[in-house]
Structure 1
């Protein structure tokens, strides 16, 4: 979950970053506490069994097994596999954020290049923006569960004012097994050409600029659709998951504190609590949970996308009608 915290560290006072470590919302503690307690429970259960239940011969067999697991568990390249995979997942997540179709640029072009202060001119600008916003909403509801809950069907889009009943009929009449988010782009292009022929757009250069920006928005929507459609190969996820879980399964036995009287290498002290093993679990399992929460969840952009939906409506509708052609008095 994406949590904004930059305002908390803006002044960089003493203890500011320590306060961030204690935050619960959006933290690694919230993601990892269940697995962490499960690991601790299994570890101390095995430790108490070794100390209190096993007899001498069984302890000897367990100690040999613990030394074996501790020696060969390090052969699993957990750091390399996790580092490579988390880098891939986070870069993919950031690429999705950069592909979010914001309406501001195309709104500026429509507002400044589509002339007419009469009712038809305002309707023309609003319709163009409505089509671009409709394209964005159609793709956002297909990649985010949060936006899908806001618009579970195209009828909800009609009720929100992004599509007229007549447009809805035409939209539904096109039978396609694929996402039809591109249809409003076709409507936008046809209406923009009509506005150019009517003289509402002064020349073809301005029309080309508007259509180029529409194509940019269409490309952003296409990238979002591609990110949702084409997943990271399953074998990558399987390798990382098996590597992490097998490593810590081996650690449950291999990192046990053995009887210091027997002078096994590395077991001179019996601390009972494996501090550095728990820290290692916190780091490695935390990396894996970052992958799960960032990539596997379809609602990982949920804090951003529901905010964007009303932004589409407000920017698209208001700016091309209310402040269009408004010029303030220039000051000295």
Structure 2
């Protein structure tokens, strides 16, 4: 039932959108037609009652209620509720479709590692895949109405060939109150283990991979069961469905044309007597169509036009599984030299040969052509703007915290008098620190030139003298 329209929008031409808008099956027109027709009929019934059958007093009361409804109708947050609700429903729809269960990967791998063309390995290989399809049938017939109509009972599954009569008897032996989806999966895993013991599967790694493919297929079906078991909380769709429909029920009254003598204040609905409420009809189509999208996607396993083709998926999985397990198993074409052995030249049809192809080229590849040959390569300049930026940042921080004047007064002094009292000497040989006291206080004048290195040679000194400085005293003298 899925409606495909990708062929109609293969190119974005000027009027290509008309191909989609003019379609009926699965369209917005089909979704809202009945409700829109009912709404229009009710609108004209109320219009006739107001204009021809009400007294003057009744018209005034009707006009007051219409004006009040029109002033307060925007209290219903339709856009927010619909947008959030549709996003939740679309996420559920994507997850259900991603876990619908395609058997291709499992069938290809089982056909590749399940060896043997004799009757017994062939039958075991087919049965493993058939049990997987049987599990899918049992799950979908409980959560999809279209599959339920196809297989109304277990006998119909036996008649369709997905389950044998003796397998039905084994399934009837399990009389628990829970679903028995796990039983065919158990048969498939046990059969794969028996094939390993019989030597039809090469090793333990291959057997483990076969079991993993079976379990992953079962996990996808379990996701479908979980979504069917726990839907969106009932209160949320109730709120959204009622809000949209109550909104347009109020529009039946507040969007009527009102006679100027019946209204207290002049509104847009008393200016022009439009016999057809064009803007309200457009609003109904868009909002109700938006709601119908959510209603259709809320259960993608139903019978709507855009619901998933569950019966097709079952038929496809069964066909592919039987072909890979039987006629196509181990069949490889005869290996011959192909036409590309002596060079590969891509070929096109005459119609497609004139099409423009945009190859994979980097966005910066054509900015500077490769014709530049005299490019001089030099070392990188050490002057980095990051150091300047860091220095400016430190100065700004000093100014911000009020330390500018303190640093300025210290840096502007040409000479500084300090009193040496002691020093710490670090011996690199013994890796210990020795403290030497200096007797007496001899003023030492620190000139800028005294701070320059005496030799341009840079090396590692064996003895390093560390000077610990105290705080400034009243005479701007530092004590060492």
Q: Please say whether Structure 1 and Structure 2 have the same fold, judged by a TM-score greater than 0.5.
A: yes
Residue 38 of structure 1 and its aligned partner are, at CA, apart by 0.8
Residue in structure 2 matched with residue 164 of structure 1 by the alignment: 164
CA distance in 1, matches of 2:27, 2:260: 38
In the comparison of the two structures, how many residue pairs are matched?
Answer: 332
Deviations 1:5-44 (A, max 9, x none): 1122224444332021111111121121111011111111
Write the mapping of 1:66-105 to structure 2, written as runs, cut at 5 A. 66-105=66-105
Aligned to 1:278: 281
Match in the other structure for 2:190: 190
| Aligned residue among 297, 300, 313 for 1:294 | 297
Q: CA deviation at 1:282?
A: 1.0
Shift of 1:54: 2.0
1:1-332 residue pairs with structure 2 within 5 A?
A: 2-260=2-260, 264-267=266-269, 268-295=271-298, 298-300=302-304, 304-330=309-335, 331-332=337-338
3-state SS in 1 of match to 2:81:
helix
C-alpha distance in 1 between matches for 2:250 and 2:14? 41
**Structure 2: stretches of 5+ with no match in the other structure:** 339-480
Structure 1 runs not aligned, ≥5 long: none
Q: How large is the RMSD of aligned CA atoms in angstroms?
A: 1.8
Distance 1:326 1:159 in 2: 31
Q: Provide the C-alpha distance between the structure 1 equivalents of 2:266 and 2:180, rounded to a whole number of angstroms.
A: 67
TM-fit CA distance, 1:56: 2.3
Higher strand share: 2
Equivalent-residue separation in structure 2 for 1:280 and 1:12 (angstroms):
27
Higher helix share: 1
Runs of 4+ in 1 over 6 A off after TM superposition: none
- Report the more deviating stretch, 216-225 or 276-285: 276-285
Question: 1:260·1:269 contact (CA, 8 Å) conserved in 2?
Answer: no
* 8 A Cα contact 1:76 1:243, kept in partner: yes
- Give how far 1:302 is off: 5.3
The 8 Å contact of residues 260 and 270 in structure 1, kept in 2 or not, is answered as no
Mean Cα displacement is larger for which, 145-154 or 181-190? 145-154
Q: Distance in 2 between matches of 1:180 and 1:264?
A: 69
CA shift, 1:270, in A, is: 2.0
Contact 1:103 1:316 in 2 (8 A): yes
1:34-89 per-position Cα deviation (integer Å, ceiling 9, x unaligned): 11011111111111222222232222211111110001111011111111112212
Q: What TM-score, normalized to structure 2?
A: 0.66
Task: With the length of structure 1 as denominator, give the TM-score of the two structures.
Answer: 0.94
- Structure ranking higher on relative contact order (CA contacts 8 Å, 6+ apart): 1
